[in-house]
Structure 1
């Protein structure tokens, strides 16, 4: 069942994707809907790991990303937050929590979740169908373990949380490469990484103790998605 206010210290786990898939299958062995959270700092590879894991589980799992709850760019401009897009208050945390609760107790045949389009840099509503008979919902994002600002209700809604543990330097290089891949110059990518992404990473790293497991993925997933 979802966790309450008490959290044990996380254990460390070095595992292959296959071993992580086996752990996920064990979560749904009873046949009930389960929610698995995969948080980590920007550039850790959360999206890639989640996509590969869901692919390994086939029809048993679906991926619902936290990034689908980014506020629209027009709203960020109105609020004066566009220059730090990706910070905790640039998301609809309440909407994300509401969706997790709907998914937990899903009554309708299908629920449609939003997705974040990295080319448009905008969320797109109703893009991910979640069917009632899918036993595992995997959700990934930076702030799944945050304890304030509306995010505090996310952690109790999840059955298990795997914090993706990746060294700082690796994350920094990935972030710069990702921003360049989506049109920024090296200088722009480096500035955004240091002024926005890595500041957000400090918040995320401070929350890692609320996870169940600190995961070190043994497979090289870089070939799966160069944007991470």
Structure 2
């Protein structure tokens, strides 16, 4: 095999700097996805027909079209329509956040529906307002049940963030590609990038299990 990592060793710190960009995109998108996802889930289980339709259409669009298409529309089409310029990282956070919210909303909706209906009926019988009931009783219990699914979505988002290379965001993958172009050796930096993603996935999986274990102990 014609592998020679000596040529790219000096560039490994440059590739590693992409971890910060990748985490920035992943964490930012997760926050947006979680907030919007909760709102969408509440719309889906609510009694207002227009909001249910909106949430269902939103989810259908973002789950039914490629993520890279959504990313490129925000990066290229929005500046064209609004005559503004968006940097790659904020674009990625917005695109990934909106996309992730469609999946998270379904996870949260399923978690809310899995909570014993008797608790909701009891809260309503005691005169607890709907908003307070959802915030203090239903959603906290649902989150405990769906934590593994949410962590899986977070890990998936971390790996899928590699597609931001198409808009030249300097994440791990983009930096590996740049190193490959500079050294005329693409396989070695791509293998390094793959190892970084793999280690990040292992760490996030471990943290997810620790958080889940801690929440179970708090029951």
**Could you tell me the TM-score, scaled by structure 1's length?**
0.29
Larger radius of gyration: 2
- Greater share of strand: 1
Query: 1 or 2 for the larger relative contact order (CA 8 Å, sep ≥6)?
Result: 1
